[in-house]
Every structure is written in structure tokens, then in C-alpha cells.
Amino acid sequence: MSAALALLVALPVVGAALTVVTRGPARVRLSLLVSAAILVAVVLLARSLLAVGVAHVLTLTSPIGVVVVLIADGLAVSFLLMSAVVGLAVVGFAWAEVRHEQDRHHRAYWPLLFTLWAGVNLLLLAGDLFTVYLMLELVALAGSLLVTLRGDRSSLLAGTRYFYAELVASTTMLIGIALVWSQAGTVVFSELGAGLEDAPLAGLGLAVMTVGLLLKAPLAPLHFWLPAAHTLSPSAVSPLLSGVMVKVSFAVLLRLWFLSVPDLVTMPAAQLIGAMGALAILWGSGGALLATGLKRLVASSTVAQVGLVFLLVPLVAAGSFDGWAGGVVLAVSHAFAKGAMLMAAAVLVDSARRAGAPAPGAGSVAGAVDGETHVGRGTKPATNVRGETTWPLLMELRGSAARRPVAMMAFGIAGISLVGLPPSGGFVAKWYLLVGSITTGQWWWVIVLVIGTLLTVGYLMRFVRPAFAPLPEDERPVPRRDARDLVALALATSTLVLGLVPGPLLRLLAIGGPHGGG
């Protein structure tokens, strides 16, 4: 198991180094190989963890006295699986983009991607607060630089805001770590509980760290940076942001609250987190219902889905393992579904733009091109006065299903999981959350789940309806697909696999879980 842990840290680092020195098709093939190897390493780790049945702890002490603790338990391995699957899909999608359009990606894309991945893996395995802090910084740096790679004004500003928000969150986390360290004399998760017993400022330290991590998660109302960053990032980056990066802070929070210092988590505090989750559902769904562009709709949906995931907090605080299972399975399922949805959205938007979507109507950000407004087929992509390409509006994606049926199918399957219909992973997750709500007597979360589900249907239909709208005979396109559509479909299908075979993941979550596991 230690070898698998070492591989999970070393492989992305090797990938980052090798993608700096290689070029062209060799670099892309190498990236695919390393990504597949990471997934294999995670699967091997999961299998050995299931065979042994107890968490594995690795303590590394450097000559200068710095101690790094790594924990491979059900929580860590579940999220590692999630990031490995999404990471492989993102690399596959990037490969498909390069096939579709040469020199599509900035040369820094691949090294930054693997640097991010290394940070994510080490963060999920971290067993001490110091390693958590360092890896959060690494992930924030790599992630925000990836957002800026398009190089235009909008993405640069979005990436800068994201980076500034992450830096504030990290330093807030650091203040919390300082408070906890001064009280407990340790930063190791497994020793915090005993160290903070009867400590006067333990609650304050935990609260400050929580604020920092919620800003990274991000849970409304601390989500101000997310919609722009996820909307304006390159199409081979946004699945990672929405799918993986928002979950790693969530995983750290779960480890801190329920596996490290569960006695410090009071029911009022847990209910407050749940209420913030409910607020996020309403806020994000509202943003999605009002969004004019597809990527913005999907990004706002992420705000809502993050809120849903946090509903596990009051359930687990009340002793429910069903809540634990439901929340984590929802996080994993959402990562697959949102990643697939963003890939499909990128394909559909690109396809609509190339097909010459009709000139935007009133209220669009697109301006005139060469002093005239072009209409009809064969139109150039819309640009604004600053020369930046603008996105087609939702209404301009009419007929997307006919144009790109495979990508639309991927979007649809992902949508099924977000709504929570069987046989998707979203259904399994919501089932467990509902059971947890009822068995702990917290029926009000049932109402929140139902409202959240209905709102999800509402905003997804804003795109699905025009996408399937019939086109006039003379405008019917020839259906197309390329490797990008297939990658999106494969990732979307993983939500169905999770829904049909949830057993291994549920057994994993019981290893090292709260309240002695399920």
C-alpha cells in the first residue's frame, strides 16, 4: 500500500516534469499514459484497502524534523478515485481537442495540469494540517494559472479574482492552523482531538479554518469567484475546476470535522452549515435559471450542487452514516456528471459557433463586426469591440441535438445524474441523503432536497428544450461527432456505472468512516 501511495504522489510530478521537456504528439501521448497509470495506482490502492479493511497511515520524517503524515482511508481513496477518473477524462478531452485543432493548448497547460494533480493527490492523502495548507496553496496556484491560459481580458481577470480569493482563503486557513497549533501543540489530524480537549480557543481555531475552507469549496455566500472562473476557463480546464477542485476542500473539511475533532462539531454549527447549503442551492439554481449562456448555466449549477453536498454535515453530526455515504457519493457523482456536462457544453458551443449561430439578439454582449450585424448561416463568430470571441446565447444553441447527438447524449446522461434519476450515481446519493434525513428526524432537509431537485430540472430544461427543437428542413445539419464527444460520453457513463454498482464505493467509505463506519 505504501508503494501505491508513493506512486500517487510521484506519477503526477513525473508527468509535470516530462511534459515540460517533450513537445507535440509525444507530450500528449505521455500525458495519457501517466494519467492511466495514476488511475491504475488508485484502483490498486482501493483494492488493497478493501482487502485489509483498515486505514493505512504513513509517517515520513525529514532530516530537518518536518513530519508529513499520509492517510489512505475510505474518504481519501474515494476522492482519489474521483480525481483520477476525471483527470484521465480531461487529459483525453485535451488530446481530442489537439486532434481536432492543432496547437490548441498553451504550452504551460500540461505541466500545470499535472502539478495541480500532484497537489490534489497529496492534499487528499494529507494527515496533518501543514501538508494540507501547502497543497492547498499549490492547487490554488496551478488552478488559477490554468484559468488564465486563454490569455484574453476576461479569463485573465477571472483567474486573478480566483487567485486572490484562494490566497485570502489559504491565509485564513493558516490563522486557524496557528490557533489550533498553539492550543493542541500538534497539527496531526489523529492527535488533534486529544490535544484540543478543554482547549479554550479550540472552537475559534476550527471555525476560522472552516471559513477558509468554505471559501475554497466554495459554499454560498462565499462563492463569488466561481461562476466567472469556471465559465471563462479553457474547455480542457473547467471540468477539473467544477469536478475536482471544489471537492478537495470539501474532503479536507470532512476529515477535520468528523474524523479528527468530531466532539467540537456542535449541532447548531452543523445546522448552520446545512442552512448555507440550502442557500447555495437556491442561489446557484437562481443563477442557472437566469444564465444567458450555456457554460454560465453549468457553472451556476455547480454552486447549487456544492450546496447539496454540504447537506451531509447536519446528518453526520446527528450520527448518520447514510448521510456520510450520500454526501460523498453525491460529490463523486457530481464530479463525473459536471465534468462530462462541461465537456459536452464546450463541444456544443464550439459546434454552434462554427455553424454560424444567428446573430445575438438584444442584450447580448456581442457587438457589430466591421460595422455591420451579420445574420444567418455562414456568419463569423461574434466578437465584441475588444476583439474577444463571445459565447452563443442559450437560444442560439437551438438544434444542438441534431448537430452533435453524441455530445447531447453525454449532456443528457450527466443531467440525469444531477437531477438524481435512477440508475445514476446521483440517485443513489440522494437516496442515502433522504434516508439519513428521515432516520435522524431532520425532515426539513427532505424538503430542501426536493426543491433542489425540481430547480435542477428547471434550469437544465432551459437548454435541453431548445437543443431538441426541430429545425426547418433547409437548416438541418449533418450530425457530426469526434473524439471529444466520445470522451464526454464516457465520463457521463461513469455516473451510470456508479449508480448501478455503488457497492465497492460504499464499502470503502465505511473504512475509517465517522462513528466507526457503517
Nearer to other proteins, 137 or 482 (CB): 137
**Set of cell numbers at residue 227:** 461562476
CB of 383 to other proteins, least distance (A): 12
Residues that bind other proteins (CB under 8 A): 62, 64-66, 130, 133-134, 137, 141, 144, 148, 152-153, 156-157, 159-161, 163-165, 167-168, 170-172, 174-175, 177-179, 181-183, 185, 201, 224, 385-387
Nearer to other proteins, 34 or 174 (CB): 174
CB of 244 to other proteins, least distance (A): 21
Nearer to other proteins, 186 or 493 (CB): 186
Nearer to other proteins, 35 or 144 (CB): 144
Both ends of the chain: CA-CA distance in Å? 23
User: In the chain, helix, strand, coil percent, each to 5?
Assistant: 75, 5, 25
On the CB side of 479, CA atoms within 13 Å amount to: 9
In angstroms, the CA 87 to CA 491 distance is 10
In angstroms, the CA 213 to CA 215 distance is 5
Cα 55 to chain centroid, rounded:
25
CB contact set of 479 (below 8 Å; sequence gap of 6+)? 402, 403, 404, 405
CB of 197 to other proteins, least distance (A): 16
Q: Which of 74, 156, 152, 146 is nearest to 117 (CA)?
A: 146
Nearer to other proteins, 59 or 171 (CB): 171
How many other β-carbons are positioned within 10 Å of the β-carbon of residue 151? Answer: 9
CB of 237 to other proteins, least distance (A): 16
Nearer to other proteins, 48 or 186 (CB): 186
Nearer to other proteins, 62 or 375 (CB): 62
CB of 165 to other proteins, least distance (A): 7
In angstroms, the CA 171 to CA 498 distance is 36
Nearer to other proteins, 134 or 435 (CB): 134
What is the number of residues in the chain?
518
Give bridge partners of residue 72 from the DSSP assignment: 56
Query: 395, 466 in Cβ contact below 8 A?
Result: yes
CB of 227 to other proteins, least distance (A): 11
Beta strand pairing call for 56-61 and 67-72: antiparallel
Nearer to other proteins, 172 or 442 (CB): 172
User: Where does 58-102 have alpha helices with state H?
Assistant: 74-100
CB of 192 to other proteins, least distance (A): 14
In angstroms, the CA 329 to CA 498 distance is 9
How many other β-carbons are positioned within 10 Å of the β-carbon of residue 243? Answer: 30
Query: 188, 256 in Cβ contact below 8 A?
Result: no
Nearer to other proteins, 205 or 415 (CB): 205
CB of 221 to other proteins, least distance (A): 13
CB of 172 to other proteins, least distance (A): 8
CB of 13 to other proteins, least distance (A): 17
In angstroms, the CA 140 to CA 172 distance is 14
Please name the amino acid found at residue 120: V
